[in-house]
């Protein structure tokens, strides 16, 4: 069973690198559900945020191994999507911040 559109986009990525990409290349980054594919991500962004999407790049990010003394643990793996908006499109979500 595929997740609903609201469960595909988990949260936007607000980092310095993504801010630079948004200003120069009209790209926006999202943390997405691990079982979502490019077509589902594109449909979710276009439907929920009401913008036109040019293309979607997706990558799986491995969680880091962290240590506290002799105890080792691992952060969760996650999926990142970088969405390129069509020419002239702007996402108001980031403009007010």
**Among the listed residues 71, 84, 76, 72, the one whose alpha carbon sits nearest the alpha carbon of residue 26:** 84
Confidence of residue 27 (pLDDT cuts 50, 70, 90): very high
Work out the number of other CB atoms within 10 angstroms of the CB of residue 2: 11
Q: Does 94 reside within a domain?
A: no
CATH of the domain at 34: 3.30.70.330
- Residue 32's domain comprises 5-86
Long-range contacts of 86-92 (CB under 8 A, 24+ apart): 86/51, 86/52, 86/53, 86/54, 87/26, 87/54, 89/26, 89/51, 89/52, 90/51, 91/22, 91/28, 91/49, 91/51
Q: What is the pLDDT of residue 4?
A: 85
Count how many domains the chain has. Answer: 1
Q: What is the pLDDT of residue 61?
A: 96
**DSSP code at position 91:** -
Is the per-residue pLDDT at 2 higher than 80?
A: no
Is the per-residue pLDDT at 1 higher than 90?
A: no
Is the per-residue pLDDT at 18 higher than 90?
A: yes
Q: Does 26 reside within a domain?
A: yes
Q: What is the pLDDT of residue 15?
A: 93
pLDDT in tens, 30-81: 999 999 999 999 999 999 999 999 999 999 999 999 999 999 999 999 999 9
Whole-prediction pTM: 0.86
């Amino acid at each position: 069973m595929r997740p609903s559109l609201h469960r595909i986009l988990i949260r936007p990525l607000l980092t310095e690198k993504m801010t630079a990409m948004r200003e120069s290349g009209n790209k926006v980054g999202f943390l997405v559900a691990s079982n979502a594919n490019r077509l589902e991500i594109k449909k979710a962004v276009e439907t929920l945020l009401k913008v036109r999407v040019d293309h979607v790049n997706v990558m799986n990010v491995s969680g880091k191994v962290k240590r506290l003394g002799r105890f080792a643990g691992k952060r969760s793996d996650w999926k990142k999507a970088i969405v390129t908006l069509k020419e002239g499109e702007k996402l108001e979500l980031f403009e007010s911040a």
